Each structure stands twice: as structure tokens, then as C-alpha cells.
Amino acid sequence: MTTAPNTLAPSEATLNWCRKLIAHPSVSMTPNMALIEEVKAHLEPLGYDCLVVRDDSNTKANLYATIGPKVDGGVILSGHSDVVPTEGQNWASDPYTIDIRDDRLYGRGSCDMKGFLACLLAKAETFKNANLRVPIHLAFTYDEEVGCLGVPSLVEAINNLPHKPAMCIVGEPTEMKVITQHKGKYSARAHFTGRSGHSSLPGEGVNAVEFASQFVVFLRQLGRTCRDEGPHDDDFVPNHTTFHSGVINGGTQLNIIPQNCFVDFEFRNLPNHDRMELKGQIFDYLDNTLIPEMCETYDDVGVEIEVVSDMPGLATGDDEEVTKLVMALTGANTTGKVSFGTEAGVFSAMGEIPTVVCGPGNIEQAHKPDEFIELDQLGRCEVFLDKLIGALVK
């Protein structure tokens, strides 16, 4: 392997772990146990204490692996094991077999975020051999891509352990820049149940599609209000809380009053924008305006909301120990904010663990066909981990 001048070549160990991890087609909502078991089989013989937190189906799990002294403090290094699907994408190579060309490593999850996990596993023995004064915890989660569904059970398990970590670094792709704030996300499905009938007699039924459409317009108005009235934070793009209706599905054919309609919607809030207030506006409109109008003639109609994800935003201060540490290790003199969500908000909100986001790769490459990570980014991540060890030894 050759790299361009002025780039940092990753180790063969990192490339080998990229190969192994990417070979697991651990698409969200599908089993990830084969990947978790392979990682656990590598870490346990090195002396890591491994905690496996399974889901109810027993087909998916988080892994929490600890090395070092059994004391409070230390650092969680966390990443998700799941990836987005490749169906319908035109790839130049097999997405589950790494392909290295032009100083890039191609493969599904190479950027988001198995490249980071590979760096951790390549350094696992180095972590073990270091004379650590506080522990290092490696966290591998499931189903992040569909709403951070796996990490809450992991954080709950961490909260019940005898020793509490001092900080967390989530290695989402930031080009090794230090991210201290990101937006939250609330996503849900609204099921509108109306009353069917012949379309020539619209007053004899309740048109679920029409009421769902009113709801979509209401969400659009909320988004415009946030855009125009704020709050605003120009460090985010866009600089305000956003609302979005992504899928609407209802009706059977034109001459039948539609009895059912589904709307998938979300909002992505600035971390300082009250999520309870935003949710309250939605449910107040449904309960006090839309549903009463639907029920004027019939009482067996209405709206049910199924929450898909409820991810808190992240707002870690620049004066936090984790921020100062990661800035020192990366050489950064500023921190950043991003509009995409991560599991960092869950570690911070549920676990009260100060957390930042810092990892290799560029988020613009995530989820696309021919997803890749620059080899230099993997090399820089390895250097970062070596510096982290230096900061944690006795």
C-alpha cells in the first residue's frame, strides 16, 4: 500500500479490521450478533471485561468492553456497528468487501463508522499493555441509523455499574474535528383513522387523507415559524429547528373515502430549543383542533402517534474536561456544531456523561454508493488514540 505525500498511512491492523467489520452486512434492524461475537472474541483474551447488552429478540446487542483499573473515571470510545442498506445504489465494487484505491478505502460503513471501530480494535492490545491510571471503555452499539435505538439500553447498563466513566468520545465522522453540539431529533408516524364511504357522499365519511394533509400543512407552518422567529444559531446549517414530513400514504382508490392515512414526520431541534415545548405544540394541535374536527360526526375516528425515535441534542461546554482533552489531543483551537444527530446526546442526557464527537472521515461520504474513508483519516485517528493513551497512563 502506498499513500500520497504528507498523508498518514494507517496500520495493517486497522486495514485488517476494516476488512473484517465491513464484511459483516450489519444493516440496521437486522442481527449484528456475528459482528459483536467476533469483536468480543478478540477482546476477552486480551483481558477486557465484556458486557453484552442484548435486545428483546436476542439477535442484536451492544458491547461494552473495559480495560484498565477498576476505578471511577476513564473514557468511553463509542461507535455504532450498524450501517444503512445498499439496495438501489450503484456501487463500483462489492460494498461488503473493502477496495483500496486512490488513497481511499471503499466499503459500506467505511466512513460511518466502521473505520473508527477498526482503529479501536487495532489499538486494543496497545490499550491493554499501557499502564493506565483510569480505564478505557470500548462501546459498540446497534441500530443507531434508525434512531439511536440500541444505545439507551447500553447507557442504562452503564448507569448500573459500580464505576462511572468520566467522559465519552463518539467517533462519528468529523474529520477529527471536535464537535460539542448537535441537533436533537424526534421522529414519529401519525396514523389517521377516518370513516370509509362512497366519494359521491363525502359528508357521510371522514377523509383520513384530508385530515392528514392538514397536519402536514401545520408541521410546515411550525417549521416556517422556527425559521422566521427562531431561536437561531448561525453555527448550525440551517440555523434553526426544522420540521419535515417525509412519507404520506393513504387511500385505496379514487371513488372511496379513505379510511386510513399514515404520515411519517420529524423535527430536528437546536440543542437549546425546548423539545417538550415542540412536542407539546404538535399534540395540542391534534388534541384540541384536528381530532375534535374529525369527531364532529363519528367518535370512532382519530389519530394515533407512534414514536420512532426521540434523540436528545448535544450541548457540551468548552470548559468541560472532555472538550479540553480532545482539543489538546487533536491540536484544535475551536469546537464545532453539526446538524446531524449522534448517540452523544444519549450518553450526555441519559448517562450524564460529558461527551464530544470526534472521529475519522467526512459525513458527506456517509450513506452514499461507493462510500469511502480517506486512508489519511484512519492514520490520523490512530495518532489521536496513541496520544489519548499518553494522557491516561500513570
Active site amino acids: 82, 144
Place of cell 365519511: 205
Residues linked to residue 58 through DSSP beta bridges, in sequence order: none
What phi and psi values does residue 209 have, to the nearest 5 degrees?
A: -65, -40
Using CA atoms, how far apart are residues 173 and 14, in angstroms rounded to an integer? 16
Place of cell 466499503: 107
CA–CA distances in Å: residue 342 to residues 80, 132, 144, 323, 374? 10, 28, 8, 17, 21
Q: Is 2 helix (H, G, I), strand (E, B) or coil?
A: coil
Which residue type is seen at 178? V
Place of cell 492490545: 125
Cell of 143: 441500530
Question: Beta-carbon neighbour count of residue 6 at 10 Å?
Answer: 6
Secondary structure E strands in 82-178: 99-101, 104-106, 136-141, 167-170
Return the closest-CA partner of residue 173 out of 382, 377, 19, 375. 377
